[in-house]
Amino acid sequence: MSTTPQGQPLVSMRGIVKRFGENVVLDGVDLDVFPGEVVVLIGPSGAGKSTLLRCINGLERISGGTIEVDGDQLSYQESAINKIRSRIGMVFQSFNLFPHMTVAQNITMAQRDVLGRSADDARRRAVELLDRVGLAEKADAYPDSLSGGQQQRVAIARALAMDPAVMLFDEPTSALDPELVGEVLHVMRELADEGMTMIVVTHEMRFARRAADRVVLMADKQIVEEGPPEQVLDHPTSERGQAFLRQLSEE
Ligand code: ADP
Ligand code: MG
């Protein structure tokens, strides 16, 4: 944690505009994320947080501006986008594991198909990562025999198996029963401590305070606050930021 931003940003966004038809949902977003940095993205529903993450890995096509990942500018030719996607791990609110495959098969599939790893190498990596997320004994279980918290940890392991340069999390604990949230946040904090570069959309303010190097608050299609957690969460300067945080504290 507490990385001092240095060198080249791993993700660099300039003037990002995203429209759906006539509807502008991102209106000039600039954001740099440096190697090892943990950026927590917060803001009201509809602010554009998910859209921003989806633009970074090309799931949504930007309408204006530029995105660079590790020095490569995002473009939408298949080979270029696949190269950038292979460097980005993404974890969603819904775990999206394949139900007809075991946990290990879920984690080995893309390693083999995309990275061309051998079955043995992919399995070895899967087991190593399952151990890291506390699920070593679940390699041959099927997803529906696992709790939501366990399934989300498998989804994290699956993303890590691709050796991504950056991990994006979109409300990874929002679909979980409250008692299962902690185990997922724990894994994410360990990842952060190990130096993974992460952009995390979450409403878990304790996680933001403890794990974030920087909190970015989005509202009305733009970034309205950014800085260290204490600054943004305790002393927001924008009206939109103040309103959002007031509402949070009243929940
Ligand atoms: P957040 O994640 O901050 O809640 P989103 O990025 O999901 O916000 O949504 C931002 C805005 O973009 C919303 O107004 C939403 O309705 C709109 N939006 C998101 N995805 C689509 C889509 N595929 N088509 C049309 N509008 C969309
Ligand atoms: Mg969202």
- Domain ranges in the chain? 1-87+167-175+196-251, 94-163
Distance of CA 80 to CAs 72, 87, 141, Å?
9, 11, 35
For residue 79, what pLDDT is reported? 86
For residue 1, what pLDDT is reported? 47
Average pLDDT over residues 97-104: 98
Ligand 1 pocket mutation, candidates 16, 41, 51, criterion most atoms within 8 A of CB: 51
Average pLDDT over residues 212-227: 97
Atom nearest to 21 CA in ligand 1: 25
The side-by-side arrangement of strands in the sheet containing 38-42 is 88-91, 166-170, 197-201, 38-42, 214-219, 222-227
Atom nearest to 54 CA in ligand 1: 6
Residue 82, pLDDT above cutoff 50: yes
In the structure, what pLDDT confidence band is assigned to residue 2 with cuts at 50, 70 and 90? very low
Ligand 1 pocket mutation, candidates 50, 60, 220, criterion most atoms within 8 A of CB: 50
Q: Residue 192: which H helix or E strand, with range? A: helix 178-193
Ligand 1 pocket mutation, candidates 16, 20, 200, criterion most atoms within 8 A of CB: 20
Atom nearest to 23 CA in ligand 1: 26
Average pLDDT over residues 54-67: 96
Distance of CA 68 to CAs 10, 34, 196, Å?
8, 12, 18
Residue 115, pLDDT above cutoff 60: yes
Out of 3.60.110.10, 3.40.50.300, 3.30.420.40, 3.40.50.2300, the CATH code matching 1-87+167-175+196-251 is 3.40.50.300
Report CA(186)–ligand 1 centroid distance (Å).
29
For residue 234, what pLDDT is reported? 96
CA-nearest residue for atom 7, ligand 1, is 50
Average pLDDT over residues 199-218: 97
Ligand 1 pocket by C-beta < 6 Å: which residues?
Answer: 20, 25, 43, 45-51
2/94: higher pLDDT: 94
Average pLDDT over residues 198-227: 97
Which residue's structure tokens are 């991504």?
A: 164
Q: Could you tell me if 160 and 187 are in contact, meaning their C-beta atoms sit under 8 angstroms apart? A: no
Q: What is the pTM of this model?
A: 0.95
Residue 76, pLDDT above cutoff 60: yes
Residue 5, pLDDT above cutoff 70: no
Q: Which tokens is 195 given?
A: 């130096």
81/23: higher pLDDT: 23
CA-nearest residue for atom 26, ligand 1, is 20
Q: Measured between alpha carbons, how far is 205 from 40 in angstroms, rounded to an integer?
A: 9
Beta strands in 92-243 (DSSP E): 166-170, 197-201, 214-219, 222-227
CA-nearest residue for atom 24, ligand 1, is 20
Average pLDDT over residues 161-167: 97
Residue 6, pLDDT above cutoff 90: no
The overall average pLDDT reported for the chain is 95
Residue 121, pLDDT above cutoff 80: yes
CB neighbours of residue 202 within 10 Å: 23
Average pLDDT over residues 58-75: 94
